[in-house]
Amino acid sequence: MELSFGCILSSKTNLKCGRKVYTFSMAAMEFENLFIITTVSAIGFISVFKSFINFLRWVWVMFLRPSKNLKEYGSWALITGSTDGIGKALAFDLASRGLNLVLVGRNPLKLESTSSEIHEKYGGKVGIKKIVIDLAKSSGKEIAQVIEEEIKGLDVGILINNAGVAYPYAKFFHEIDSELAESITKVNIEAATWITWSVLPGMLKKKKGAIVNIGSASTVVTPSYPLYTIYAASKAYLAMFSRCISLEYKQQGIDVQCQMHC
Ligand SMILES: NC(=O)c1ccc[n+]([C@@H]2O[C@H](COP(=O)([O-])OP(=O)(O)OC[C@H]3O[C@@H](n4cnc5c(N)ncnc54)[C@H](OP(=O)(O)O)[C@@H]3O)[C@@H](O)[C@H]2O)c1
């Protein structure tokens, strides 16, 4: 037995070995090859299978899963930046599902016109409350106070932190004017944090709620996003903020999502 072991380890010894030992050495090599082939095939199979399961899950989520009754979270949804773009579209979508809306914006005229458009389309069925506040010009605590005061007595089940400020065009970090830098950090980071802070206690009481933070694909698609540094960093904050509070409050019935738009 000792000799045959030596044969496997040393090819010189192998040549001098008898037939039995040679056969044993070949068998060991075959076993080794078989082991490598089986292991590589298993790893390949597992990764293909995993991709297939992910694909099936994507098809299910995108096309087949029945949509949730969002009113189960509560009868009101609060949306920041609801006077334009994605926020406005979300306001219309939520109104179509029968939710009442708290529209947060800085421009009273735009708020009024959004509100009338929604009423025109969905009639008087949708209750709308407007909160006029400039999220870039108020401190976090001021924002929280205003929101807390305005939503008192409302069953707010959904919060959408959508308001966001981006660069008008690519700029080096040292070229950004202080006003833009401040707006980005205040609206994208501070306002989202403090509004969540003021809406969350109501959700915790009911043990249900949904918080949707509108992030950016820059956080996940690229390893870095130069020339949009503060914007990208602010959205990375939002992604991490979302992941953390999701874990903190999942057990309390609160769903948190960070949507990564491109
Ligand atoms: N569109 C994209 O391609 C894209 C891609 C990735 C991520 N996103 C994110 O998606 C969100 C919405 O983007 P969007 O393209 O729909 O933006 P948008 O069309 O520029 O609308 C932004 C909304 O935020 C409001 N807002 C801006 N500054 C505010 C402030 N200081 N106080 C209160 N409200 C303020 C705006 O109000 P006013 O009407 O008064 O200006 C507007 O209602 C943002 O968070 C953005 O970063 C967008």
* Binding site membership of 140 for ligand 1 (Cβ less than 6 Å): no
Q: Which atom of ligand 1 is nearest to the CA of 86?
A: 16
Residue 73 is a catalytic residue:
no
Q: Could you tell me the distance, in angstroms and rounded to a whole number, from the CA of residue 162 to the centre of ligand 1? A: 7
Instruction: Say whether 255 sits in a helix, a strand or coil.
Output: strand
Average pLDDT over residues 117-128: 92
* Between residues 210 and 15, the one the model is more confident about: 210
Domain residue ranges of the chain, discontinuous segments joined by +: 2-64, 70-261
* Between residues 13 and 242, the one the model is more confident about: 242
* Binding site membership of 112 for ligand 1 (Cβ less than 6 Å): no
Count the neighbouring beta carbons within 10 Å of the beta carbon of residue 118.
Answer: 21
Q: Could you tell me the distance, in angstroms and rounded to a whole number, from the CA of residue 259 to the centre of ligand 1? A: 14
pLDDT at 88 exceeding the cut of 90: yes
* Binding site membership of 220 for ligand 1 (Cβ less than 6 Å): no
Q: Class of 70-261 per CATH?
A: alpha beta
Place of tokens 């980071």: 189
pLDDT at 4 exceeding the cut of 70: no
Q: What is the pTM of this model?
A: 0.85
* Binding site membership of 234 for ligand 1 (Cβ less than 6 Å): no
* Binding site membership of 209 for ligand 1 (Cβ less than 6 Å): no
pLDDT at 262 exceeding the cut of 50: yes
For residue 10, report the phi and psi dihedrals to the nearest 5 degrees. -125, 125
Q: Could you tell me the distance, in angstroms and rounded to a whole number, from the CA of residue 188 to the centre of ligand 1? A: 9
- In this predicted structure, what is the pLDDT of residue 21? 60
pLDDT, tens digit (0-9, with 9 covering 90-100), for 17-66: 555 566 667 788 889 999 999 999 999 999 999 999 999 999 999 899 99
Asked if 87 and 110 touch (Cβ cutoff 8 Å), the reply is no
**What mean pLDDT value characterizes the chain?**
92
The C-alpha atoms of residue 97 and residue 111 are separated, in whole angstroms, by 20
Q: Whose CA is nearest to atom 25 of ligand 1?
A: 81
